[in-house]
Amino acid sequence: MTDDRFHVYDTTLRDGAQQEGLNLTVADKLAITRHLDGLGVGFIEGGWPGANPKDTEFFRRARTELDLKHAQLAAFGATRRAGVKAADDPLVAALRESGAPVVTLVAKSHDRHVELALRTTLQENLAMIRDTVSHLRAEGQRVFLDAEHFFDGYKSNPAYALEVLRTAAEAGASVIALCDTNGGMLPDELADVVHEAVGTGARVGIHCHDDTGCAVANTLAAVKAGATHVQGCANGYGERSGNANLFTVVANLQLKRGFDLVPREALADMTRIAHAITEVTNVTPNSHAPYVGVSAFAHKAGLHASAIKVDPNLYQHIDPAMVGNDMRMLVSDMAGRASVELKGRELGYELTPETSRELVERVKELESRGYTFEAADASFELLLRDTVAGERRRHFSVESWRVIVERTRGGELISEATVKLHAKGERIVATGEGNGPVNALDKAVRAGLERLYPELAEVELIDFKVRILEGAHGTDAITRVLITSSDATGEWATVGVDENIIEASWQALEQAVTYGLLQAGHHAD
């Protein structure tokens, strides 16, 4: 870390890990720490050593397994228990022995919480803070203090809340982070309280929860009021509605307020880092997340598309490349020729006016039958290629397919598929068995083609979505199938539509394989 004037403090591994359904192993925590260090945050709170064996283990392994470039680790823990010396409290000892250069102590600053939850006197709470902070300082650690329930405490007893802050600062805490623990604050009232706190002369930080949907706004308001230390969690993880999203906070402060918080190259890698962390947490990424969501810079309306083609900056608040994201055009029935041309250009095709007009007609006609290209980029690209070529080009053609589903005497369901294909001048008959008809068809196609195209072994079907669309004007309902496939180079989605679910699946599957072969560099005849 180069600059101590403003702190970016991550608490994903401690407060973020409180999110329902989120379970992190020590290895996961080490991986997330590396990602956050890659972003260039100043401090990473690793957990509560002594209170949680996994966290003790994290700090032990961090010493030998991590080589941090930017961040310092912080160990989280409480002030000493009432009535004992900090030097004699085993939980304080665990903080000392964690090896972390920073200790963040949580302390009560709300009078009612001191009396009801801690069951001690207001004076003893101040003594606990004074004793613990000065003890750890004397032992050579830097100390930050999280003033829990600070804003609610200030409402209940402002003099006492500010006394907690002064006591911690005088004992040697270098930052006192004011916590909106219940997350109920709004930006204007929060800013007033932060302003009062800054008036004590202590260095003030901010820790917000998103229960009012204002965690990021509250954090920015606190900074405006004089806070110089911001806490948050990767992807806004946290219990209830989550914590302030650290990525949004950093991007806002750096790109909108001119703060120099993380290296510019690291900020330009933020989208990748945000997604890499979701791979570790196994939490589905929020596609609408500000700055880093897949949809954060996606445009749909045809009306906008023609202007975007002239100047993309007219319709985006920043250049998405600054945070490592892309502008993406969605092809939809709202779109006209301009968005189709733009999408074509994004895929590397310059379309003639005639070709784009023809393509728009085909997209509109297919969308009226239930296809969607917004979520099926690969199907759109195949349609575009076919339109440009003036014919349908495929690596293989299909003579027929058949699937049977059998319920065995043991009650097991088995699907068996046979496909008859033509490829490279050969007629191929292949079979496949699977746990469902689509799985069986997928296996049969691969069995038939893998000898000619070994790269197919890399292609995996990773998601399969089915949606029943209401039939129009008394016709039967139709089924839309979206298939997502992947190989080492990336992911792609294809779409099929039919009254029959297996035919719809087959269409999406056939395109998925075709697109995979194109990705592997095979030209279609």
Binding site for Zn ion (CB under 5 A): 15
Residue (243 or 511) nearer to Zn ion, CB: 243
Shortest distance, CB of residue 139 to Zn ion, whole angstroms? 26
Cβ proximity to Zn ion, 59 vs 150, nearer residue: 150
The residue nearest Zn ion at its CB is 15
Q: Which is nearer to Zn ion, 15 or 55 (CB)?
A: 15
Instruction: Report, in Å, the least distance between residue 45 CB and Zn ion.
Output: 10
Q: Would you call 270 helix, strand, or coil by DSSP?
A: helix
| Cβ atoms 488, 473 nearer than 8 A | no
CB 145 within 8 A of CB 103: no
For Zn ion, give the closer residue by CB, 215 or 267. Answer: 215
Q: Which two tokens stand for residue 252?
A: 């806002």
For residue 209, the minimal CB distance to Zn ion (Å) is: 6
Q: Name the residue nearer to Zn ion (CB basis): 16 or 370.
A: 16
Q: Output the smallest distance, CB 289 to Zn ion, in A.
A: 20
359: Cβ–Cβ under 8 A, 6 or more apart, which residues? Answer: 340, 344, 351, 383, 384, 387
Is residue 148 within 8 A of residue 115, CB to CB? The reply is: no
CA distances from 442 to 191, 332, 376, 438, 496 (A): 58, 28, 19, 6, 14
Give bridge partners of residue 33 from the DSSP assignment: none
Measure the CA–CA gap between 387 and 5, rounded to whole angstroms. Answer: 58
Q: Residue by residue, what is the 3-state secondary structure of 285-308? A: CCCCCCCCCCCCCEECCHHHHHHH
Burial tier of 386 (Cβ tally within 10 Å: 0-12, 13-18, 19+):
middle
* Residue 106 beta carbon to Zn ion: minimum distance, rounded to whole angstroms: 9
Helices assigned H by DSSP within 139-269: 150-156, 158-171, 187-198, 215-224, 246-251, 264-267
CB of 15 to Zn ion, least distance (A): 4
Q: How far is the CB of 474 from Zn ion (least distance, A)?
A: 56
CB nearer to Zn ion: give 15 or 341: 15
Nearer to Zn ion, 177 or 223 (CB): 177
